[in-house]
A and B are shown apart, each in its own frame.
Chain A
Amino acid sequence: DAGVIQSPRHEVTEMGQEVTLRCKPISGHDYLFWYRQTMMRGLELLIYFNNNVPIDDSGMPEDRFSAKMPNASFSTLKIQPSEPRDSAVYFCASSLAGLINEQFFGPGTRLTVL
């Protein structure tokens, strides 16, 4: 298996633009997680899904952030409109059986909002 796949790897955009980050989890993993990592705040869980259903989105910072998982092999995290403070590395991770089960992280998307 190729592991968790994220695209794009780097994204530079201007304030106010819509940003869509994509993730393909490891096949057979029932859980998918979206994280944000910054120097100031560290690694933060934004939202996670179980069998394509959002379970906890309490980490989503604002209504500008939304996430979907239309099927078991694809998820998106969208920011609309983007702001400079959204600049961070966004990770997608998947696991077989939940938060405390080993999570396999993707390589991340480095987002810069100018």
Chain B
Amino acid sequence: QKEVEQDPGPLSVPEGAIVSLNCTYSNSAFQYFMWYRQYSRKGPELLMYTYSSGNKEDGRFTAQVDKSSKYISLFIRDSQPSDSATYLCAMNRDDKIIFGKGTRLHILP
């Protein structure tokens, strides 16, 4: 079993919809959880970062962590065509950082 699992998609949703992106992990040692966004042929950029279980909100984005289920989510409200990108979850343990393979998201105008 891989340490971090992420559905590669692609996920296509109409503009204005709520998007839910998810990752599962197997190692309870992970402490910090991050979401990066990567546009085509660009480097990833940090969207959100959280430590504890629960929700963290930043504008249209909400990051959710459930450590008991080893499950993290990123919600995007009022999705826009400019949100079309690949979203990578990332987790940190023991001075390591492990990325999910990313989910490709298409927002349809």
The reply on B97 being an interface residue by CB < 8 A is yes
CB distance from B4 to the nearest CB of A (A): 9
What does DSSP make chain B's interface, helix, strand, loop or mixed? strand
How many residues does chain A have at the interface if contact means C-beta atoms less than 8 Å apart? 19
CB distance from A67 to the nearest CB of B (A): 17
The reply on B59 being an interface residue by CB < 8 A is no
Partner of B49 from the list A42, A93, A102, A105 (CB cut-off 8 Å) is: A102
Residue ID in chain A nearest B34 by CB atoms: A100
How many residues does chain B have at the interface if contact means C-beta atoms less than 8 Å apart? 18
- In the complex the two chains form, is B43's CB within 8 Å of A45's CB? no
The reply on A97 being an interface residue by CB < 8 A is no
> With the chains together, A42 CA to B36 CA distance in Å?
13
> With the chains together, A45 CA to B95 CA distance in Å?
11
- In the complex the two chains form, is B43's CB within 8 Å of A42's CB? no
Point out residues on A near B: beta carbons under 8 Å.
4, 41-45, 55-56, 91, 93, 99-100, 102-108
